[in-house]
Every structure is written in structure tokens, then in C-alpha cells.
Amino acid sequence: MLIYFFRRLALTIPTFVALMFVTFAAIRLVPGDPVEVRVGEHGISPERLAFFRHQLGLDQPLWKQFLDYCWQILHGDFGVSLSTQAKVLTEFFTLFPATIELTFFAMMFAVLIGVPAGAAAAVNRGGIFDQVLMSISLFGYSMPIFWWGLMLIMFVSVQLGWTPVSGRVDLINYYYDTPTGFMLIDAALSDQPGAVWDALHHLILPAIVLGTVPLGVIARMTRSSMLEVLSEDYVRTARAKGLSPFRVIGLHALRNALLPVVTVIGLSVSSLLAGAVLTETIFSWPGIGHWLIDSINRRDYPALQGGVMLVSTVVILVNLFVDVFYGAINPRIRHGR
Amino acid sequence: MRTAAWVSLGLSALLLGSTAGASAKTLVYCSEGSPENFQPAINTTGTSFDAARPVYNRLTEFKRGTTEVVPGLAESWEVTDGGSTITFHLRKGVKFHSTKEFKPTRDFNADDVIFSFDRQWKPDHPYAKVSGGKYDYFNDMDMPSILDTIEKKDPYTVVFHLKTPNVAILANLAMDFAAISSAEYGDFLLKKGTPEQLDQVPVGTGPFSFVTYQKDAVIRYKKNPDYYGEKALVDDLVFAITPDATSRYAKLKAGECQVNGYPRPADLPEMQKDPSLKVISASGLNIAYWAFNNTKPPFDKKEVRQALSMSIDRDAIIRDVYLGAGVKAKTLIPATMWSYNDSIVDYPYDPEKAKKMLADAGVKTPIDIDLWYMPVQRPYNPNGKRIGEMMQSDLAKVGVNAKLVTYEWGEYRKRLQNAEDTTGQMGWTGDNGDPDNFFFLLACNDGHAVQNNIPKWCNTEFNDLLVKARVIPDQAGRAKLYSRMQEIEHDEAPSLLLAHSTVFEATSAKVTGYLQSPLGTHAFEGVDVK
């Protein structure tokens, strides 16, 4: 198991190197550099342009800029944001808890509904429930997130007034420090009556919106995996033994069917951590997705490069965890068979 | 039973929550983004200026809701030496804000003025390189070439000696970049070894003091009870950072904020119908124009430029591209600005007359020209390409085949400034409400167009008046000259002036005292929530 873990760990090294190169190159392919995008109609004199380019090291050959950047990263230095002058690492860890919190609740929503629904659909294969559920999951899977989020806001928040429109806290009635960045924890630490409920209240809609696509995927994956497992001999044997349907489906079939679902969940977590941009924008959720988009617009090279590297590290670690976990529950993978 | 208990607990928590903090009056502004920092001297975006503005004051100020320059931290001033010397008499008894760590021991004085300008001007200033050291606006407004020295005559008198006479500098000093920071706070942070805090935790003299900032989420301010000017009427001011325009509208409707910056034009009809909201609008301090390269034939002929000015249906462009959020421009400056000459008769849309004028001017149609369109969206130009296509179609009707051309924005600007175009779209957003800040776009030096003079048009009378207007201290005298300049510009038609955009803002009907700024800024002193 340990060898398997280290083998997986070693495989992440080339991924990191490739990532460093891609993040470095991609932003430089976008027209306009950090100095030029700040310039409006006033223009900028060639002397000032040259001065600031020199200050940022942009007048150096690309290969030297890349080596400097690698050297910095290897020393754990992600640089300083050009627009805010704050350390990239500080900005990342200020914003990342909001993304983790949202992703966690979105996945809870997707898994707690998706897995039982998928299993139930498989058991009732071809029935009304199965057909309705699969249609809904297809709908959820292909839903444009921006539209879905705005529709929910307009209906649930504005028309019905059940949830807040956006943000993480009621700014008029609550004000407390956020030492952890996880609003539920900070609200609990604040000792303000109703603060936890308020924070939870703000999580409902964004979690539903972000969890909708994974919900569709997980439900469909669980269903197809369950269908496969339900036709296995050991399930038939369990039924023949006279076990209750709950034990047959819940304990024997579902546990085995969940193996591929775990991979899907892992992949979903990765993509949610990196790809919550739209949800974060609609719900004014102060996470890293929105920060990265802002960094692209401002050509903030250090923030973007550092941000992408850090997000990628998290994604790689999550994938590594999933692989190892998968290996742990499925020895065939571990032994490369 | 347990479920019931949880529900009851949740409901009581909700009720308790909704009453917490109800005694303080709070105004929430749904802002569109996060500031870069809280130091206007190093910022370039309206979002960052808005975030710092509640905290700071300047020597001169724009009267709220106008571009009129009024006393700020300088309670009066004298212009002498034909406009080369400006003596500011500073206000006494003005207090700086406190932070958790810093408590000011003295009132505002001349040292703070010197500190704030020297930082942007003198490379050896201890703060010159802090936070990147880019003082774009100070340089863009040409301050290094305007200023000779800034002299502290006594603790409450500061004299600005200028290299050339320029009374328009009074408007520059009301701009955000000229905000006055506390020199004592600067010294305190230097000793502490954290100078960058000057730009992150702002200390000023403004109507609100800074409380806290959570990136991409919220900025909080509280009322400054010692403020010398128009007092804040709410206890707390909150900027709820809401990047998406539709979410801002939803928050306004749901009562989660009371002022909504930058609504989408498509939402305006619905907003205007809603009795719980107020929609206000003003002509933006900007201009979009189509510049003819006056150095290249046939655009060197006035009659050709006038003919082409009549060939574009600007009403259609404003209707279809600006979605009504714009007004046709007949002079460089919008109607809200002092010295606007309303007696000028605009060029009509008259393709038949345009065709005849082109023929009379000796232009054989069809003729091929380049039409450069803006590659980016700007406040004065919502969609350069679409406008270009509509212009192309209009021009075809008068026998002009326009080829659409564009470049990446930096390249586009540079090539236009180098006069590589034949015709091209460009525009301008005013900085300070002074007409000079618009008319300098057509300035020339010794008969050569300056960099920002995109049509490369030089007219001796126009240029002489421009220079003369900079040394006349009284506004009425200057207005006469600017009025004449507008007539010259209109007759010569170096560019076709397309439009001034209209800026909209929406507030809750409960908000009183909110005044829209023609400069596109947002200010909250004197604003109340009923």
C-alpha cells in the first residue's frame, strides 16, 4: 500500500512541472501585459512603460522569467499580487475557506440526494420513478449554471423571500470577525444569536446551484453501477438466502456499486474547487474562482500563476487521496491488476 | 418532537438575529468589485476610488452631485502671478481618524499636504516605492510638468508654485489621487516597519472612518462624528461587493442593499416601474467620437469631414447599441458641464446632402477607407464593433466603402496616437469636470498635434484660446473662450462626435439625499435611509 502511495505521489511531480509551464505560458499568450492594461485613454509615455516593465521583470527574456518563477515556486514564494500588493499566498488562504465551505455543502447536497436517488432508480428500473429521475438528472446535468442560479434567486429569494440573495452573511444585522474564514465556524465563535442560522441560510442556494451538475452525474453513475451490481450472482444469492431488500440493496449491492461513484465524487470535488467561478459570481461568494477571473482581467501574473498552482495542488492532492482511497477499498487497483 | 424543537430553535434564532443591531442606522451600497487597496494615489479604477472616498478629503472638493470646485481641506485660496502661484489657506481643527493601533496626536496641517504630494512626486520620498509606486493619475494629469515647488509657508498655508500658469489645476486637486493622508500615520507605520499599511488601513479626515475589509465580500465604515463638512446621516456604511449586475438588482429588490451602482440598461424599464425603487440618470462625463485623420486626404478637407458627419445615423446607434443609455453629442463636452454651448446646431443625418457635398469636394465615389473600431468596451462605447458595422452600412449609402479594422487595445491606442489610421473610433472619460480636461484632446504644440489629439487637427485660433483659458482665474471668463472653441470645433469637424453615454443608478425609495455625481463617483455623506 505504501509503495502504491509513493508511486502515485511521484507521478504528481511531472504534473506540477507541466502546470508551472502552462500557467506561465498561458497568461502571457493573452494580449496586453500588467502595465498596459492599467493604461486608459491617457496613454503612457514609452519611458514610464519601460520603467514599470523593468520593475516587474517583464523586459527579461521569457526563459529567464520562467526560471525565476520556478525558482520562486520551489522556495514556496508565490509572489505578490500586482494589483493589491498583498502576498498571493495570503490572498489565497483568505479566500479559499469560502470555496471549501461552498464545495463541501454542494457535495453534501449532491451525494445525499444523488446516491439514494440513483440506487432507487436502479431498483425500479424502467419504472416511472426511474424515468422521471433520469430525466431530472439529465436536466440538472445540462443546466446552464448562470441561468439556474439567477432563476433560483429571482424565485426563491426575491419572490418568496425564503433565502438571502447573495453574500455569506446578513451585513446589516451581523458583524463579527472571521478568523477561520469558514463562516459557519466564525458565526458559532461570534456568540451572536442567530449568526449560525444566518450563515447556513446564505449557503442554501449557492450549494444547490453548485451541487446541481454533480447531483446529476452522481445519480446517473450510481444508477448504472447499481444495475451492473444487481445482476451479479452474489446479489441473487443474497436474495435467495431470504435477506431483507434493505440488506440486499443497502449493504450488499450499494456498497459494491459505490466504487466507481467514489471516483466520480472525487473528480467532482476537484472540478468544484477550481470551477465555482459562475456560482461565486452570481452569489457574490468571495472564493478563489472570482479572484482568478479578476486576476486574468488585470493581467496580475503573480496572482494568477500562484492561484492556479495552489488550486492545482489542491486538486492533485484530492485526486491522490481518491486514488489511494480507491486503492484501499479495491485491491485490484492497488496491485495494478 | 425533536424536529419541532429544532424548528422552534431555528425560528427563535432567526427572530433574535433580525433584531440584533437594529438600533444603528446602516446604509448598504451594492458595489461592483473589490478595491485594489485604499490609497487613491496609486489606484486607477473607479471601484478603488469609491472605496477610499468615504475616508479621505482633498484640498479642493467637487460639490456633491456637481463638478463645481469648492473648498475642501483648503478653506480658501488665491491665484496670483497670472495663474502661476496658488496659495491655499488650510482649514484648522480638522481631525484625522484613529485605528486600533494609531491615535493621532495633532490636527491636519501643511505637513500632511506636503507628505501626500511628495510621495507621488519625489522619488526619494520614503513612501515613493511603497505598494508598487505607480502614481498613474499624478502623471496622467501632467502634475510633474505643471508643479514647480510646493512650499509650506506656515502650518496652515501652502503655496503651489507652477511652471506655467494653469488654474485648471484646482480641479485636478479635487480628484481622488490628490487625497490627503496623515503624515503622522505615515511616520508611525515607517517606525513600525509596515509602511504598506498606509494603503491597506486608511486614515483620513473624511465623513466616514474605515472599519474593516474582507476581500470580495464587504467593506465597512463608520460615521466620523468629528467631520468638518456635510455630516454622515447613517451610523454605518457598508459596501456589499456584488460583481454581477443582476444580483445587485435582486439585492436591491430584496432590501439587502439600498443603493445599486451600475445597473444593466436592460433592467432599467422594470426598475422604473417598481414603486419601491428610484432610478436616476445623468449624462456621463465622457465622449465617444469617430476621428478623421486630418493629415491624410481626403480628410484634410473640411467639407469632406462635414459630409461624413452627416452620413451616420447616430440616433439608430444610440437606440440599438447604447440601448437608449446615451445622448447624441454635438460638442466635445456633455451638457452638464459648465461652458457648454447649447446654441450649436448639430449636423443632421442627411445621406443625400452628404453625397452631394462629397461630390462638390471632388471626392469620386465609391471610395475606400479604413474604419478602425474599438476592441474593448468603454463607458462611452458599449460595443465598438457593432457601432463600426452600423457606420459601415451608413457609409455604403453615400458611396464610401469602409473596411473594419481593429487591434489589441494597447496596440490600437498606440497606432491611433501615431496617426496610422485613416478614420477610427476613440473616446474620452473626463477626470475632473474642467472643460480643459476635454479640450486638451485637440491641443497642438507649435502646430504639431499632441499625442492624445487623435484626429491630428491643429487650428491656431482654437489652440490660442485653449492656452489663454488656462490663465484666466474666473470661470465666467473662461467659459466664454470655451464656448467659442466649441463653435470652431463644430465647424471644422475634425471628428464626428458620436455620443455621451448616460449613467444610471438605482436606489431604494427609502433613500433620501443621494445625489448622482456627473463624474461617475459615489458619495454617501448627507444620505439617509427612512
CA distance B308 to B292: 9
Q: Do A157 and B18 touch (CB under 8 A)?
A: no
Grade residue B5 by pLDDT with cuts at 50, 70 and 90.
very low
How close does chain B come to A273, measured CA to CA in Å? Answer: 17
Place of cell 503624515: B183
| In the predicted structure, residue B28 carries a pLDDT above the cut 90 | yes
Residues of B in contact with A95 (CB under 8 A): 215-216
Q: Do B218 and A167 touch (CB under 8 A)?
A: yes
DSSP A305-318: HHHHHHHHHHHHHH
Nearest to B253 among A150, A158, A166 (CB): A158
Grade residue B23 by pLDDT with cuts at 50, 70 and 90.
low
Grade residue B7 by pLDDT with cuts at 50, 70 and 90.
very low
CA distance B351 to B452: 30
| In the predicted structure, residue B126 carries a pLDDT above the cut 50 | yes
Question: Who wins on pLDDT, B41 or A28?
Answer: B41
Nearest to A194 among B16, B215, B242 (CB): B16
| In the predicted structure, residue B138 carries a pLDDT above the cut 80 | yes
- Helical residues (DSSP H) of B407-459, grouped into ranges: 409-417, 436-439
Question: Who wins on pLDDT, A257 or B492?
Answer: B492
Q: Do B452 and A43 touch (CB under 8 A)?
A: yes
CA distance B219 to B202: 12
Q: Do B246 and A150 touch (CB under 8 A)?
A: yes
- Give which of B12, B197, B214 to mutate to test A binding, by max A Cβ within 10 Å: B214
List the single residue in B with minimal CA-CA distance to A295.
B36
Q: Do A41 and B15 touch (CB under 8 A)?
A: no
CA distance B69 to B63: 6
The pLDDT tens digits of the residues spanning A272-299 come to: 876 688 899 889 999 998 888 888 888 8
- Give which of A48, A84, A172, A301 to mutate to test B binding, by max B Cβ within 10 Å: A172
Residues of A in contact with B10 (CB under 8 A): 197
φ, ψ dihedrals at B310, nearest 5°: -90, -5
Cβ proximity of B185 and B101 under 8 Å: no
Question: Who wins on pLDDT, B277 or A3?
Answer: B277
Secondary structure element (H or E) that encloses residue B339, with its range: none
Grade residue B12 by pLDDT with cuts at 50, 70 and 90.
very low
Mean pLDDT over each residue of chain B, to the nearest integer: 91
CA distance B499 to B283: 10
Q: Quote the cell numbers at residue A123.
A: 431498483
Using only C-alpha atoms, chain A has a radius of gyration, in whole angstroms, of 24
List the single residue in A with minimal CA-CA distance to B18.
A173
Grade residue B73 by pLDDT with cuts at 50, 70 and 90.
very high
Q: Quote the cell numbers at residue B325.
A: 443609455
The reported pLDDT for the residue numbered A335 is 59
| In the predicted structure, residue A337 carries a pLDDT above the cut 70 | no
ipTM: 0.84
Q: Do A85 and B37 touch (CB under 8 A)?
A: yes
Q: Do A41 and B426 touch (CB under 8 A)?
A: yes
Q: Do B14 and A197 touch (CB under 8 A)?
A: yes
CA distance A304 to B176: 28
Residues of B in contact with A94 (CB under 8 A): 214-215
Q: What percent of chain B has pLDDT over 90?
A: 75
DSSP A249: I
- Give which of B131, B196, B244 to mutate to test A binding, by max A Cβ within 10 Å: B244
CA distance A208 to A219: 15
Cβ proximity of A89 and A78 under 8 Å: yes
By three-state DSSP, how is residue B471 classified? coil
Q: Which of A204-208, B13-17, B333-337, B425-429 has the lowest mean pLDDT?
A: B13-17
The pLDDT tens digits of the residues spanning A74-113 come to: 888 888 888 888 899 999 999 999 999 999 999 999 999 9
When pLDDT is averaged across residues B385-399 and rounded to a whole number, the result is: 96
Q: Which of B335, B426, B379, B329 is nearest to B521 (CA)?
A: B379
| In the predicted structure, residue B39 carries a pLDDT above the cut 50 | yes
Q: What percent of chain A has pLDDT over 90?
A: 31
Q: Do B256 and A164 touch (CB under 8 A)?
A: yes
CA distance B447 to B442: 11
Q: Do B250 and A154 touch (CB under 8 A)?
A: yes
Cβ proximity of B373 and B405 under 8 Å: yes
Q: Do A161 and B417 touch (CB under 8 A)?
A: no
| In the predicted structure, residue B123 carries a pLDDT above the cut 90 | yes
No. of helices (H) and no. of strands (E), chain A: 15, 0
* Residue B401 Cα distances to A140, B304, B414, B425, angstroms: 49, 15, 25, 16
* Widest Cα–Cα separation across chain B: 94
Cis peptide before B275 (omega within 30 of 0): no
The pLDDT tens digits of the residues spanning B338-370 come to: 999 999 999 999 999 999 999 999 999 899 999
How close does chain B come to A3, measured CA to CA in Å? Answer: 43
Nearest to A43 among B242, B427, B451 (CB): B451
The reported pLDDT for the residue numbered A274 is 65
When pLDDT is averaged across residues A22-38 and rounded to a whole number, the result is: 79
List the single residue in B with minimal CA-CA distance to A293.
B243
